[in-house]
Structure 1
Amino acid sequence: MMIMKRLLFLVSVCSLCMVGNSQNYQPEEHAVVKSDRGDGRLLSTYAIVHEMLKNTHPQYAYCSGMSAQEFTQWQNGVRTAMVEIMKFPEIKGQPSPVCVKTEKKEGYILEKWEFYPFPKSVSTFLVLKPIYLKGAVPGVLCIPGSGRTKEGLAGEPGICDKLTE
């Protein structure tokens, strides 16, 4: 599985590099993946990656109708995979995360936290806690992607004017 992930990553990077460096790149040519060969094989790295991903079913895809036992197994599997995927290397002597801001909003409390994964670095995350919930409850991790910010998802101003949505 790890070899497949690395291969897909490498192929994707190579594809992006080739597309980005091509003077004659025409996006519409890549809108539909197709082969010009009689045997149906693909020459385009983009098309190969698309075909590989098109038929890939995520190991921990959510399936409605799971029994309570299946849901617990799924939940534990997702948790284990997330720890493996998102874990920073252990660096000794880093300070613990700190809540730098707490603000009451309509129906929830917003917390802004900082954590320090590497020396000289700081990363932030937001926690939105519904006011009516008490004690420890499950949470949802929202990762907005490259076109949005976490502040934008939470309806908050960006870390600078340029990044306010």
Structure 2
Amino acid sequence: MCFRSPTRPARRALLALAVVLVAAGCSADHTPEAGDPVFAGLDSAVVNEVLASPAAQQRVEGDDEGAAKARYQGMVRNFIACRSALSVYQTWVATGEAPAFPDQPRPTNPSATAKQLDQDIQQLRDHASSGDISLLRDDLTTESGCGHWIPAKPADPSGPTIADVVNGRS
């Protein structure tokens, strides 16, 4: 049996099909498994929640495998830190005093972007202890803040976001 190279029109058709498939999102899936070493040291329930989140999956579209793993690790840490900030904020509103910002888990195998996230978490901690609740509120509600897309309640992707709760829309 002899293999024949496709004709020019057939090659064009195959190329067009490949372009359509890539444009439709049929590219390689780089979603890590929950047991991936990138998540060592992080809460497995939050890892599973982030991996199952359509919003999280959308944020990694187009990333190569290494970038996707780093981004997923960062999102897990963000979910934990932002929910911690929400808890501090809610206690502060209810009592008039900000509790200490909880210690945050660190991944055993930090990604290349972990230092930036450490700085972001430190900012949340600083704002929580600043005496100015509006700083923490801004962290949780502005478009670039951490609460704009993260569900307030774990494993409730269709429920209110952290920003919704802070803004009284829950």
Is the pair's TM-score, using the shorter chain for normalization, greater than 0.5?
no
TM-score using structure 1 length = 0.23
The structure with the greater share of residues assigned to strand is: 1
Larger relative contact order (Cα-Cα within 8 Å, sequence gap ≥ 6): 2
The structure with the greater share of residues assigned to helix is: 2
TM-score using structure 2 length = 0.23
